[in-house]
Structure 1
Amino acid sequence: MAERLIPGDVAPDFTLQDQDGNDVSLSDFRGRKVIVYFYPAASTPGCTKEACDFRDNLASLQTSGYEVVGVSPDSVKALARFAGEEQLTFRILSDAEHSVADAYGAWGEKKNYGRTYMGLIRSTIVVDPDGKVGLAQYNVRATGHVAKLRRDLKLDK
Protein backbone atom coordinates (compact mmCIF):
# COMPACT_ATOMS: atom_id res chain seq x y z
CA MET A 1 0.00 0.00 0.00
CA ALA A 2 1.37 3.38 -1.03
CA GLU A 3 1.59 6.36 1.26
CA ARG A 4 -1.36 8.70 1.30
CA LEU A 5 -0.85 11.97 -0.54
CA ILE A 6 -0.79 15.28 1.28
CA PRO A 7 -1.16 18.84 -0.01
CA GLY A 8 1.96 19.95 -1.83
CA ASP A 9 2.84 16.47 -3.14
CA VAL A 10 3.19 16.08 -6.89
CA ALA A 11 0.12 14.14 -8.04
CA PRO A 12 1.25 10.91 -9.76
CA ASP A 13 0.59 11.08 -13.49
CA PHE A 14 -1.52 8.33 -15.02
CA THR A 15 -3.16 7.24 -18.23
CA LEU A 16 -6.34 5.15 -18.01
CA GLN A 17 -9.24 4.39 -20.33
CA ASP A 18 -12.55 6.15 -19.82
CA GLN A 19 -16.04 4.73 -20.23
CA ASP A 20 -15.76 5.19 -24.01
CA GLY A 21 -12.37 3.44 -24.27
CA ASN A 22 -10.44 6.70 -24.74
CA ASP A 23 -7.11 7.28 -23.01
CA VAL A 24 -7.21 9.99 -20.37
CA SER A 25 -4.08 11.26 -18.62
CA LEU A 26 -3.76 13.51 -15.62
CA SER A 27 -1.43 15.64 -17.74
CA ASP A 28 -4.42 16.36 -20.05
CA PHE A 29 -5.68 18.60 -17.24
CA ARG A 30 -2.45 20.57 -16.73
CA GLY A 31 -3.30 24.23 -16.26
CA ARG A 32 -6.71 23.37 -14.79
CA LYS A 33 -7.91 22.17 -11.39
CA VAL A 34 -9.19 18.61 -11.33
CA ILE A 35 -11.04 16.59 -8.72
CA VAL A 36 -9.97 12.95 -8.95
CA TYR A 37 -12.30 10.82 -6.90
CA PHE A 38 -11.88 7.09 -6.28
CA TYR A 39 -14.92 4.88 -5.74
CA PRO A 40 -15.10 1.11 -5.12
CA ALA A 41 -17.68 -0.17 -7.62
CA ALA A 42 -19.97 1.20 -10.32
CA SER A 43 -23.71 0.64 -9.97
CA THR A 44 -23.62 0.04 -6.21
CA PRO A 45 -25.89 2.23 -4.05
CA GLY A 46 -23.19 4.41 -2.43
CA CYS A 47 -21.12 4.83 -5.57
CA THR A 48 -24.22 5.66 -7.61
CA LYS A 49 -25.24 8.29 -5.06
CA GLU A 50 -21.76 9.83 -5.12
CA ALA A 51 -21.48 9.80 -8.93
CA CYS A 52 -24.93 11.38 -9.33
CA ASP A 53 -23.99 14.00 -6.74
CA PHE A 54 -20.91 14.92 -8.79
CA ARG A 55 -23.05 14.90 -11.96
CA ASP A 56 -25.64 17.19 -10.38
CA ASN A 57 -22.94 19.60 -9.15
CA LEU A 58 -20.72 19.43 -12.24
CA ALA A 59 -21.81 22.72 -13.81
CA SER A 60 -21.18 24.71 -10.64
CA LEU A 61 -17.85 22.92 -10.06
CA GLN A 62 -16.79 23.72 -13.63
CA THR A 63 -17.91 27.33 -13.21
CA SER A 64 -15.57 27.44 -10.20
CA GLY A 65 -12.76 26.09 -12.39
CA TYR A 66 -12.81 22.39 -11.46
CA GLU A 67 -12.98 19.34 -13.73
CA VAL A 68 -14.14 16.00 -12.28
CA VAL A 69 -12.78 12.53 -13.02
CA GLY A 70 -13.96 9.35 -11.29
CA VAL A 71 -11.70 6.30 -10.97
CA SER A 72 -12.72 2.75 -10.07
CA PRO A 73 -11.42 -0.79 -10.55
CA ASP A 74 -14.38 -1.57 -12.86
CA SER A 75 -13.92 -2.61 -16.49
CA VAL A 76 -14.48 -0.11 -19.31
CA LYS A 77 -17.61 -2.07 -20.25
CA ALA A 78 -19.05 -1.78 -16.72
CA LEU A 79 -18.22 1.94 -16.67
CA ALA A 80 -19.94 2.49 -20.01
CA ARG A 81 -23.09 0.84 -18.67
CA PHE A 82 -22.91 2.85 -15.42
CA ALA A 83 -22.35 6.16 -17.24
CA GLY A 84 -25.27 5.47 -19.56
CA GLU A 85 -27.67 4.35 -16.84
CA GLU A 86 -26.87 7.33 -14.60
CA GLN A 87 -26.39 9.88 -17.43
CA LEU A 88 -22.96 10.80 -16.11
CA THR A 89 -21.57 13.89 -17.82
CA PHE A 90 -17.95 13.54 -16.74
CA ARG A 91 -15.29 10.94 -17.40
CA ILE A 92 -15.00 7.82 -15.29
CA LEU A 93 -11.83 5.80 -15.65
CA SER A 94 -11.03 2.10 -15.39
CA ASP A 95 -8.17 1.26 -13.01
CA ALA A 96 -8.65 -2.52 -13.16
CA GLU A 97 -5.13 -3.20 -11.91
CA HIS A 98 -5.61 -0.56 -9.16
CA SER A 99 -2.15 0.87 -9.92
CA VAL A 100 -3.41 4.47 -9.92
CA ALA A 101 -5.43 3.93 -6.73
CA ASP A 102 -2.30 2.46 -5.17
CA ALA A 103 -0.15 5.42 -6.28
CA TYR A 104 -2.71 7.80 -4.76
CA GLY A 105 -2.95 5.90 -1.47
CA ALA A 106 -6.54 4.92 -2.27
CA TRP A 107 -5.91 1.16 -2.27
CA GLY A 108 -5.43 -0.58 1.02
CA GLU A 109 -6.75 -2.64 3.87
CA LYS A 110 -10.46 -2.38 4.52
CA LYS A 111 -12.73 -3.90 7.13
CA ASN A 112 -16.34 -4.76 6.54
CA TYR A 113 -18.60 -6.91 8.72
CA GLY A 114 -15.60 -8.26 10.61
CA ARG A 115 -13.74 -9.23 7.44
CA THR A 116 -10.39 -7.67 6.50
CA TYR A 117 -9.42 -7.42 2.83
CA MET A 118 -7.58 -5.23 0.32
CA GLY A 119 -9.73 -2.86 -1.68
CA LEU A 120 -10.39 0.63 -2.90
CA ILE A 121 -10.70 3.29 -0.20
CA ARG A 122 -13.23 5.95 -1.17
CA SER A 123 -10.99 8.99 -1.60
CA THR A 124 -10.87 12.38 -3.29
CA ILE A 125 -7.74 14.20 -4.42
CA VAL A 126 -7.89 17.75 -5.76
CA VAL A 127 -5.02 18.52 -8.12
CA ASP A 128 -4.04 22.13 -8.79
CA PRO A 129 -3.17 23.56 -12.24
CA ASP A 130 0.54 22.79 -11.66
CA GLY A 131 -0.12 19.10 -10.96
CA LYS A 132 0.27 19.29 -7.20
CA VAL A 133 -2.13 17.99 -4.58
CA GLY A 134 -4.22 20.80 -3.16
CA LEU A 135 -6.50 18.65 -1.02
CA ALA A 136 -6.46 14.96 -0.13
CA GLN A 137 -9.40 13.26 1.58
CA TYR A 138 -9.51 9.55 2.45
CA ASN A 139 -12.29 7.33 3.79
CA VAL A 140 -14.91 9.82 2.65
CA ARG A 141 -18.61 9.09 2.89
CA ALA A 142 -20.54 8.69 -0.36
CA THR A 143 -23.56 10.58 0.89
CA GLY A 144 -22.95 14.28 1.37
CA HIS A 145 -19.36 14.13 0.15
CA VAL A 146 -19.74 16.65 -2.67
CA ALA A 147 -21.37 19.18 -0.30
CA LYS A 148 -18.50 18.73 2.17
CA LEU A 149 -15.95 19.02 -0.65
CA ARG A 150 -17.58 22.24 -1.84
CA ARG A 151 -17.33 23.64 1.70
CA ASP A 152 -13.69 22.53 2.03
CA LEU A 153 -12.88 24.21 -1.30
CA LYS A 154 -14.75 27.29 -0.08
CA LEU A 155 -17.14 27.19 -3.03
CA ASP A 156 -20.25 27.66 -0.89
CA LYS A 157 -20.61 31.11 0.47
Structure 2
Amino acid sequence: MSAKTSRNTTVGAFVLNNEAVYPWTIYVYVPTTNGGKQKVKFKAEFKHLTAERRLQVLEDFKANLQARTVVGDTPQTEDAVDAHKEITSFEELLLGEVLLGFSGIVDPNKQDVPFNDETKAALISNSWARDALLYGYQQSLVGRSDLGN
Protein backbone atom coordinates (compact mmCIF):
# COMPACT_ATOMS: atom_id res chain seq x y z
CA MET A 1 0.00 0.00 0.00
CA SER A 2 1.47 3.33 -0.97
CA ALA A 3 1.65 6.29 1.39
CA LYS A 4 -0.83 8.11 -0.81
CA THR A 5 -3.59 5.53 -0.39
CA SER A 6 -2.97 5.11 3.34
CA ARG A 7 -3.81 8.80 3.90
CA ASN A 8 -7.25 8.44 2.35
CA THR A 9 -9.99 8.72 4.89
CA THR A 10 -13.68 8.20 4.61
CA VAL A 11 -15.54 11.45 4.22
CA GLY A 12 -18.93 11.54 5.86
CA ALA A 13 -21.97 13.68 5.35
CA PHE A 14 -22.00 17.26 6.57
CA VAL A 15 -24.16 17.61 9.67
CA LEU A 16 -26.00 20.92 9.73
CA ASN A 17 -25.95 21.90 13.40
CA ASN A 18 -25.90 25.59 14.20
CA GLU A 19 -25.81 24.74 17.91
CA ALA A 20 -22.65 22.62 17.65
CA VAL A 21 -20.23 22.48 20.59
CA TYR A 22 -16.73 21.22 19.86
CA PRO A 23 -13.21 21.00 21.33
CA TRP A 24 -10.33 22.96 19.83
CA THR A 25 -6.62 23.03 20.65
CA ILE A 26 -5.41 26.56 21.35
CA TYR A 27 -1.74 27.39 20.90
CA VAL A 28 -0.38 30.35 22.83
CA TYR A 29 3.04 31.95 22.45
CA VAL A 30 4.20 33.37 25.78
CA PRO A 31 7.37 35.35 26.50
CA THR A 32 10.21 33.59 28.27
CA THR A 33 12.65 35.11 30.74
CA ASN A 34 15.45 35.01 28.15
CA GLY A 35 13.55 37.22 25.69
CA GLY A 36 12.22 34.44 23.49
CA LYS A 37 8.80 32.89 23.18
CA GLN A 38 7.50 29.50 24.20
CA LYS A 39 4.64 27.69 22.46
CA VAL A 40 2.14 26.25 24.94
CA LYS A 41 -1.34 24.84 24.45
CA PHE A 42 -4.66 24.15 26.11
CA LYS A 43 -7.98 22.73 25.02
CA ALA A 44 -10.98 25.03 24.59
CA GLU A 45 -14.59 24.07 24.07
CA PHE A 46 -16.35 26.37 21.62
CA LYS A 47 -19.96 26.88 20.63
CA HIS A 48 -20.76 27.57 16.99
CA LEU A 49 -22.45 30.89 16.38
CA THR A 50 -24.36 31.66 13.23
CA ALA A 51 -23.30 34.67 11.19
CA GLU A 52 -26.49 36.39 12.32
CA ARG A 53 -25.63 35.89 15.99
CA ARG A 54 -22.07 37.12 15.44
CA LEU A 55 -23.53 40.26 13.85
CA GLN A 56 -25.76 40.71 16.90
CA VAL A 57 -22.69 40.46 19.16
CA LEU A 58 -21.08 43.14 16.98
CA GLU A 59 -24.18 45.31 17.35
CA ASP A 60 -24.00 44.84 21.13
CA PHE A 61 -20.38 45.96 21.00
CA LYS A 62 -21.34 49.04 18.97
CA ALA A 63 -23.98 49.87 21.58
CA ASN A 64 -21.30 49.54 24.29
CA LEU A 65 -19.00 51.75 22.26
CA GLN A 66 -21.76 54.35 21.94
CA ALA A 67 -22.26 54.16 25.71
CA ARG A 68 -18.54 54.86 26.15
CA THR A 69 -18.82 58.11 24.19
CA VAL A 70 -21.83 59.14 26.29
CA VAL A 71 -20.19 58.20 29.60
CA GLY A 72 -16.73 59.48 28.69
CA ASP A 73 -13.42 58.37 30.16
CA THR A 74 -13.99 59.97 33.55
CA PRO A 75 -17.51 59.19 34.76
CA GLN A 76 -18.79 61.64 37.37
CA THR A 77 -21.91 59.92 38.74
CA GLU A 78 -22.52 56.51 40.27
CA ASP A 79 -24.72 55.53 37.32
CA ALA A 80 -22.00 56.63 34.90
CA VAL A 81 -19.42 54.57 36.81
CA ASP A 82 -21.65 51.48 36.57
CA ALA A 83 -22.20 52.05 32.86
CA HIS A 84 -18.46 52.51 32.33
CA LYS A 85 -17.74 49.17 34.07
CA GLU A 86 -20.15 47.35 31.75
CA ILE A 87 -18.46 48.55 28.58
CA THR A 88 -16.58 45.58 27.18
CA SER A 89 -14.62 44.88 24.06
CA PHE A 90 -15.97 43.00 21.07
CA GLU A 91 -13.47 40.23 21.80
CA GLU A 92 -14.74 39.86 25.37
CA LEU A 93 -18.36 39.76 24.21
CA LEU A 94 -17.65 37.19 21.51
CA LEU A 95 -15.43 34.94 23.64
CA GLY A 96 -17.80 35.28 26.57
CA GLU A 97 -20.49 33.71 24.42
CA VAL A 98 -18.56 31.06 22.48
CA LEU A 99 -16.12 29.77 25.13
CA LEU A 100 -17.95 27.03 27.03
CA GLY A 101 -15.01 25.34 28.73
CA PHE A 102 -11.28 24.73 28.85
CA SER A 103 -8.75 22.23 30.18
CA GLY A 104 -4.99 21.94 30.32
CA ILE A 105 -4.41 25.27 32.08
CA VAL A 106 -2.42 25.54 35.32
CA ASP A 107 -1.75 28.38 37.74
CA PRO A 108 1.76 29.58 38.70
CA ASN A 109 1.90 26.79 41.32
CA LYS A 110 1.21 24.18 38.59
CA GLN A 111 -2.28 23.47 39.99
CA ASP A 112 -5.07 22.78 37.47
CA VAL A 113 -7.29 25.78 36.84
CA PRO A 114 -10.95 24.72 36.89
CA PHE A 115 -13.41 26.21 34.42
CA ASN A 116 -15.90 28.60 36.01
CA ASP A 117 -17.12 32.14 35.36
CA GLU A 118 -14.23 33.68 37.29
CA THR A 119 -11.47 31.72 35.55
CA LYS A 120 -13.17 32.19 32.17
CA ALA A 121 -13.10 35.98 32.71
CA ALA A 122 -9.45 35.78 33.84
CA LEU A 123 -8.51 33.79 30.74
CA ILE A 124 -10.31 36.19 28.41
CA SER A 125 -8.61 39.17 30.11
CA ASN A 126 -5.17 37.63 29.50
CA SER A 127 -3.86 39.26 26.30
CA TRP A 128 -1.90 36.22 25.10
CA ALA A 129 -4.77 33.82 25.70
CA ARG A 130 -7.43 36.16 24.30
CA ASP A 131 -5.54 36.63 21.03
CA ALA A 132 -4.94 32.88 20.72
CA LEU A 133 -8.59 32.09 21.51
CA LEU A 134 -9.82 34.56 18.89
CA TYR A 135 -7.45 33.14 16.30
CA GLY A 136 -8.39 29.56 17.17
CA TYR A 137 -12.12 30.29 17.04
CA GLN A 138 -11.76 32.02 13.68
CA GLN A 139 -9.74 29.09 12.32
CA SER A 140 -12.40 26.66 13.52
CA LEU A 141 -15.06 28.60 11.60
CA VAL A 142 -13.18 28.43 8.31
CA GLY A 143 -12.73 24.67 8.52
CA ARG A 144 -9.10 24.52 9.58
CA SER A 145 -7.71 21.71 11.67
CA ASP A 146 -6.91 22.50 15.29
CA LEU A 147 -3.54 20.81 14.80
CA GLY A 148 -2.17 23.77 12.88
CA ASN A 149 -3.75 26.83 14.42
TM-score, length-scaled by structure 1: 0.24
Between 1 and 2, higher relative CO (CA 8 Å, sep ≥ 6) is seen in: 1
Structure with the larger strand share: 1
TM-score, length-scaled by structure 2: 0.25
Decide which structure has the larger Cα Rg and report it.
2
